[in-house]
Amino acid sequence: MRPLIVFLACCLAAVSAAARNTTGRSFSSEFFFGAATASYQIEGAWDVDGKGWSIWDYLARTDPDHVADSSNGDIAANSYYMYRRDIEMLKELGVTHYRFSISWPRILPYGRANYVNQRGVNHYNEFIDELIANGITPFATMYHWDLPQNLQELGGWLNEEIVDWFGDYARILYQNFGDRVKHWLTINEPYVHCNLAYGYSMHAPRIHSPGIGYYECGRHILLANARAYHIYDNEFRSVQGGKLGIVISSEYVFPASDSEEDIEATRDYFEFHLGQYMNPIFSETGNYPQVMIDRVAAASLSQGYNSSRLRGFSEEQIEYIKGTADFLGLNHYSTRIIYRNSSVIGMFEIPSHEDDTYAASFQNEFWPASQAPWIREYGPGLYHLLVHIKDTYNNPLVYITENGVSTTAGLNDYNRVSYYRSYLNAVLDAIAEGCDVQGYFAWSLMDNFEWALGYTQRFGLYEVDFGDPERTRTPRKSALVYKEIVRSRTIDYDYDPDPYASNAYASSAWLLSIVFAIVNVLIQL
């Protein structure tokens, strides 16, 4: 009976969303569109111009078979050298904002602030200047998972000294780029980073500590974000006038049935995932959600620990963390359905964050699938998540900093077109509901190195030919559709461009421009 209830609920939600789609709404002129990337995933140039090793450089050399296709980010999309082409792509799309990340080991090769790599600073200065010269507003992420290997050897995110290391790094970024970068994103997706690195040991540094290291990692990220925020507040904000936010990822979740167990499990899931990072920063009280504090403490004692595996914050630390974001960067990809019954017993490793949450999930098989097993298209989920954030955390300013879906190679990416239309409709729904959403970044501008999945997943609006030394970028159908949404500020379901025809036209136009230039020179001679 439960699957039928879930199926009917999803159908009703989809019908409701479709009804809202007919209202002819548009994005306001103040709402901005952009695209997003991350340094290790696209830059390449892993050991040039003084860059130090990151934890992913180390993983690629010590455990290459851990990545699905035994690949790495040594060259990736080669954006370190091809960033001008990347900026051309942004202009082709018509977007006005670009979210990129700065490579910590490219700025501080040894992780610490005692040695700054001027060549790395010069590279980002040139890149930021080029963005601004082309009318693109930079959104710079300080940390997108490429920790300097030297710091990892000192404990990385499990060593509380990283709060000081990150603060020193942030100060150097403000000093060198803050005169032009007015939107900073401190740390990308603490839940995903800590869980995949320390919970499931899928990502670098691959340390298996799901019920202890996971919590320590998250605790130190919250303190590091606060340190970067207070340094900016005390030393730079009055002169530079920028804003800082943190990037938090979240699915939307809803109960599999109307049973009290499933409803409670859904509440718990939100608190143990979104709430773990939102509550300390965005709630009026600060600190972790109380259900987390109580449950992890009780579970820890029953498992023979002398204290809670979730190390608490002092009152001073609670106040230090609270309010340390001017806006929320929200990454969202999909929705899950939550349940709790006897089948959940023994499902998860003990101890672990999942066992502490004590809730299981699944996705509706009728939602459109993608190349990634964890992403199914369910646009209304983003609407409900934004409303949940508005109602729970006093309607913070939100930028959608990542949203996208994976496909196989090829230009006719129909499912990505469907996905973007569905989720952008959800953003319009949320704005109509009063949610303070002011911008949207598509993930990703181009195909990239997708961490442990290598190049088996394609998230790009632009297809990258990784077999070509030039790493040729070609716009997909989704790029053309996104471009039209950006231009018209509306979502036209009848617009169906042919990417092959478009690229053929672009190639011929490029050749004609060369011919005309040569003719013009000959005439002047």
Q: Where along the chain do its domains lie?
A: 2-494
For residue 189, indicate whether it is catalytic. yes
d(CA 108, CA 100): 18
Overall fold of domain 2-494: TIM Barrel (3.20.20)
Contact call for residues 135 and 92 (beta carbons, < 8 A): no
Q: Of the residues 189, 271, 377, 463, which is catalytic?
A: 189
pLDDT confidence of 232, banded at 50, 70, 90? very high
Contact call for residues 389 and 277 (beta carbons, < 8 A): no
Q: Of the residues 43, 216, 402, 450, which is catalytic?
A: 402
Cα–Cα nearest to 292, from 280, 276, 279: 276
Tell me the mean pLDDT in the region 6-13.
50
d(CA 367, CA 46): 39
Q: Check whether 201 has a pLDDT greater than 70.
A: yes
Q: What is the pLDDT of residue 505?
A: 54
pLDDT digits (tens, 9 = 90+) for 155-195: 999 999 999 999 999 999 999 999 999 999 999 999 999 99
Tell me the mean pLDDT in the region 392-399.
98
Q: Both ends of the chain: CA-CA distance in Å? A: 82
Q: Check whether 5 has a pLDDT greater than 70.
A: no
Q: Which one is predicted more confidently, 13 or 37?
A: 37
Averaged pLDDT score across all residues of the chain: 94
For residue 235, indicate whether it is catalytic. no
Q: What is the pLDDT of residue 509?
A: 47
Tell me the mean pLDDT in the region 405-413.
96
Q: What is the pLDDT of residue 10?
A: 54
Q: What is the pLDDT of residue 503?
A: 82
pLDDT digits (tens, 9 = 90+) for 122-135: 999 999 999 999 99
Q: Check whether 13 has a pLDDT greater than 80.
A: no
The residues, ordered by sequence, that sit 6+ positions from 454 with a Cβ below 8 Å of its Cβ are 67, 68, 69, 70, 71, 72
Look-up: residue for tokens 């996905």?
A: 419
d(CA 225, CA 187): 7
Q: Which one is predicted more confidently, 10 or 281?
A: 281
Q: What is the pLDDT of residue 514?
A: 47
Kindly state the tokens that stand for 388: 């949940």
Q: What is the pLDDT of residue 19?
A: 42
Q: What is the pLDDT of residue 513?
A: 47
Cis ω for the linkage preceding 351 (within 30 of 0): yes
- Phi first, then psi, for residue 194 (nearest 5°) are -70, -40
Q: Check whether 12 has a pLDDT greater than 60.
A: no
